[in-house]
Amino acid sequence: MDLDLTPGQEAFRAEARAWLAAHVPPVPPRSLETREGFAEHRAWERTLAAGRWSAVTWPEEYGGRGRSLLEWLVFEEEYHAAGAPARVSQNGVCLLAPALFAHGTEEQRARLLPPMASGATVWAQAWSEPEAGSDLASLRSVAVRERGGWLLRGQKTWSSRAAFADRAFGLFRSHADPGRPPHHGLTYAMFPLDAPGVTVRPLGRLDGKPAFAELFLDDVFVPDADVLGEPGRGWRVAMSTAGDERGLTLRSPGRFLAAARRLVALWRETADPADTALRDRVADVAVRARAYQLYGYGVAARLAAGGALGAEPSMNKLFWSELDLALHETALDLLGPYGELADTAGDAPEGGRWADGYTFALAGPLYAGTNEIQRDIVAERVLGLPKGRGGG
């Protein structure tokens, strides 16, 4: 693979870098896990959309630039290197939008994508239930047929962004198929979080911020127009969403490359050069971040040549979730006790950025399908090992 960018791609990088230099807020917005910070991040989404940078690979008619996956990787490198804010619209842009392009109708794309790109509609993810997480097919929430649509009933939990978002997408059991595998008879539905019958109850993470919410659905009406894909075959749509969640689009290499560079700079500023053990850990995560960048280029080139992904998103998810944790653990060990101060503490290093990132990284091996499940997938589908755990 040729790792040199074309003159057009270099020009694209320069354009992105110049725009970000002119528009990234000099003072970072507050945490998006607070109501005030959420509003500030939504305003940033509007700024991004005005520059047509909020959805780089989408067709222009929906608010994008019609650029390639490789150019999106380039943009992401510049975005994170510039210290731009986290994307509050990530669930919509990175997860729902690819499913809409693959399985939605033209009416759905025309109605839902432009407000998603502009930040006018922020989406929450409503997959997990109290007894259905990585084993998503065991979900119990239902969609009952009603004239012109469906009535949603049940409970969703750990719904990211749901505390302050506008709409949510999730999976519901709509058809009873006795004797068939549990992933049959599911329907993929989208619904407003302020619709009659929806109760949103925020859930705090370790630092108390409501990063998630649980949703209680009591006969929430969803018109047929807000069902994505064929009713009863929502598993197929959900799996394409899960593939995007575990793959490059949710956790781009640029994010980790920028964090690794910050870590190297932190080591140079604060570390004892004689501490070779810590030095080696810094070097290790920096190399892993660079390897992930090169892997991303390889995937983009292969897809552009007509290739396809198999179980790779599972390997991808294992890699970036463990890398993220290693990056932040190393940073906190470098910073010592002060590294644990939250963003509300005045003397927190980098405004508490490393501590906040560590709190988030702790969840990496759990969300988007636990790493144990991903290892099962890799063992069975990539290595051809026997199915099941400890059965022998």
> Which residues, other chains included, contact 5 with Cβ-Cβ below 8 Å and sequence gap of 6+?
13, 74
Q: Which CATH superfamily is domain 251-383 in?
A: Butyryl-CoA Dehydrogenase, subunit A, domain 3 (1.20.140.10)
The length of the chain in residues reads 392
Report the Cα 28 to chain-centroid distance in Å: 20
Query: Is 322 one of the annotated active-site residues of the chain?
Result: no
The one-character DSSP state at 96 is I
In angstroms, the CA 68 to CA 70 distance is 5
pLDDT at 42 > cutoff 60: yes
Our separate counts of H helices and E strands in the chain read 12, 8
CATH for the 7-87 domain, from 1.10.540.10, 3.30.420.40, 3.30.2290.10, 1.10.3720.10: 1.10.540.10
Q: 103-125, pLDDT tens digit by residue?
A: 999 999 999 999 999 999 999 99
Q: Do 209 and 31 contact (CB within 8 A), yes or no?
A: yes
- Which range has the worst mean pLDDT, 83-97, 132-146, 188-202, 241-255? 241-255
- Which range has the worst mean pLDDT, 170-179, 208-217, 313-322? 170-179
Average pLDDT of the chain? 89
Structure tokens at 386: 């026997």
Q: 49-63, pLDDT tens digit by residue?
A: 999 999 999 999 999
pLDDT band at 1 (very low <50, low <70, confident <90, very high): low
The one-character DSSP state at 171 is E
pLDDT band at 389 (very low <50, low <70, confident <90, very high): low
Q: Do 216 and 179 contact (CB within 8 A), yes or no?
A: no
Residue 309's pLDDT is what? 74
pLDDT at 331 > cutoff 90: yes
Q: Which of 71, 76, 78, 245 is catalytic?
A: 245
In angstroms, the CA 79 to CA 91 distance is 18
Q: Do 47 and 19 contact (CB within 8 A), yes or no?
A: no
Angle at 133 between CA 235 and CA 182, to 5 degrees: 40
The one-character DSSP state at 184 is S
Structure tokens at 253: 């290499």
In angstroms, the CA 137 to CA 320 distance is 25
Is 251-383 in the same CATH topology as 123-233? no
- Which range has the worst mean pLDDT, 130-139, 179-188, 231-240, 284-293? 130-139
pLDDT at 392 > cutoff 50: no
The 10 Å CB-count burial string (b at 16+, else e) for 212-223 is: bbbbebeebbbe
β partners of residue 187 = 172
Q: What CATH number belongs to 123-233?
A: 2.40.110.10
Q: 73-101, pLDDT tens digit by residue?
A: 999 999 999 999 999 999 999 889 999 99
Q: Do 192 and 180 contact (CB within 8 A), yes or no?
A: no
Domain residue limits, the chain: 7-87, 123-233, 251-383
